[in-house]
Amino acid sequence: MPDNGSATRPLRVAIIGSGPSGLYAAEALTRHDDVEVSIDVFDRLPAPFGLARYGVAPDHLALRSVRNALETVLDDPAVRLLANVEVGTDISVEELHRFYDAIVFTYGAATDQRLEIRGEDLDGAISATELVNWYCGHPDAAGERVEAAISAATSAVVIGVGNVAVDVTRVLSKTAPELDHTDMPQHVLDLLAATSITSVTVLGRRGPAQAAFTTKELKELGELADADVLVDAHDLALDPVSEADIEGERRRERNLEVLEEWSTRTPARGRRTIRLRFFSQPVEIVGPDRVTGVRVERTRLDADGSLRGTGEYTTIDADLVVRSVGYQGMPLAGVPFDEARGVIPHDEGRVLDDDTVVPGEYVAGWIKRGPTGIIGTNKKDATATVRSLIADAAQLPRADQPDPDAVTAHLEQQGVRYVTIDGWRAIDAAEIALGESRGRPRTTLHEREALLESARRGVRG
């Protein structure tokens, strides 16, 4: 057997993306006692954790604490963080093969799906990804666009009935005290506290039985300090397809129970409202240059479950529209890509190019299976991919320059300011200190330069 994976010549693995799937893959690799590994985890952003930092809603503190578990993976001496390195720009996949025996792509699905309807790019129409990036303090957030959309808004329409739609609806509907303990940047908290949004309408193009949200997340909408949830009982009448969809599906049954209870409620005067509307397909975002409403067509389900327009149109007044219709994976130069599905094709985690395995390339997480599932889903997924990698270990083509210093020397030559775990710890400490100065556990640093400066200062000591 070649000495790949021994103490003298550990298996060199690059993981591209430090979100949950990347770090779960690193963890799974370090747990294989029979193969010695030396892992570099790359991230294009200066701070690690991907969607655990820039996707999980800041008011979901328990879910966000998954970062603590992920961070322990970075403490393992076999795992090195190389953040602020964009694979495809700062270093190519071809170059990576010089330094690593295996590459695991776990860079997720960072872009959003579009509706492809008229008016989608009007001022006041934004994507959930833009909004979430902004309130999570993502360094590349389209801050000005989002702030212009939100600050002038009084009534919002959220398109889509997945958990992201629920997240953005909840954040837009919470009062300042309900958000004050979060790690959102101060300018985000200030703007959300000053918002005049008093109504949010959430649109599902199919029925409540087909909604993608989970019951726990849905129920939270009914627990807000200053918002009442409204559901039209007419939308909850079940057609035969919906009856069949619900049958034995506990999540769907429970969703229906929650919605039915809400449909009996009468809103209190003066409180904000969240209205859930089903069988409502947006056909146009209306407005001369800024959004004034969303034109929707009433829909129904055919006997085979397919969606049909009824020809009945209404326009919902709105000055903010947030489309939340799913994420979209993007290709990476030099890596096979399935354009139709937005994923890297694979066989049990081994990257496929025209049905042929690409030696030394693997994939896990959303860029492997599409943007579905909860954080925990990625653990199972990453572990399955690592199983394939470990099974292949002895046969993998060997890197020419496996010395860990070789890749960092290359990055330095290219002028890339990579951030290691020491840099991240300094960012972490700076965020905690900033939060404490305002009576909060943490405040996210949202500017790339501020993140890099904190990282540099920490490393210099």
Nearer to ligand NAP, 13 or 157 (CB): 157
Q: Least distance (Å) from ligand NAP to the CB of residue 336?
A: 24
Residue in the structure block whose two tokens are 């943490």: 442
List interacting residues with ligand NAP (CB under 6 A).
63, 115, 159-165, 167, 204-206, 210, 212, 217, 324-327, 371-374
Q: Which residues pair with 159 in a beta bridge?
A: 203, 323
User: Could you tell me if 122 and 289 are in contact, meaning their C-beta atoms sit under 8 angstroms apart?
Assistant: yes
Going by C-alpha positions, the residue among 152, 146, 120 that lies closest to residue 134 is 146
Strand blocks (E) in 324-448: 327-328, 346-347, 350-353, 356-363
Q: Least distance (Å) from ligand NAP to the CB of residue 161?
A: 4
Q: Least distance (Å) from ligand NAP to the CB of residue 166?
A: 7
Helices 128-136 and 163-173, packing angle to 10 deg: 60
Q: Least distance (Å) from ligand NAP to the CB of residue 284?
A: 12
Q: Which residues contact 128 (CB under 8 A, 6 or more apart)?
A: 112, 158, 160, 164, 165, 167, 168, 322, 323, 324
Q: Least distance (Å) from ligand NAP to the CB of residue 214?
A: 6
Nearer to ligand NAP, 118 or 187 (CB): 118
User: Could you tell me if 432 and 442 are in contact, meaning their C-beta atoms sit under 8 angstroms apart?
Assistant: yes
Nearer to ligand NAP, 53 or 206 (CB): 206
Closest-approach residue to ligand NAP (CB): 162
Q: Least distance (Å) from ligand NAP to the CB of residue 87?
A: 23
Q: Least distance (Å) from ligand NAP to the CB of residue 169?
A: 11
Nearer to ligand NAP, 369 or 440 (CB): 369
The H or E element spanning position 315 is strand 307-317
Nearer to ligand NAP, 275 or 350 (CB): 275
Nearer to ligand NAP, 168 or 434 (CB): 168
Nearer to ligand NAP, 209 or 390 (CB): 209
The DSSP string of 213-252 is: --HHHHHHGGG-TTEEEEE-GGGGPPPHHHHHHHTT-HHH
SS3 102: strand
Residues in the chain, total? 461
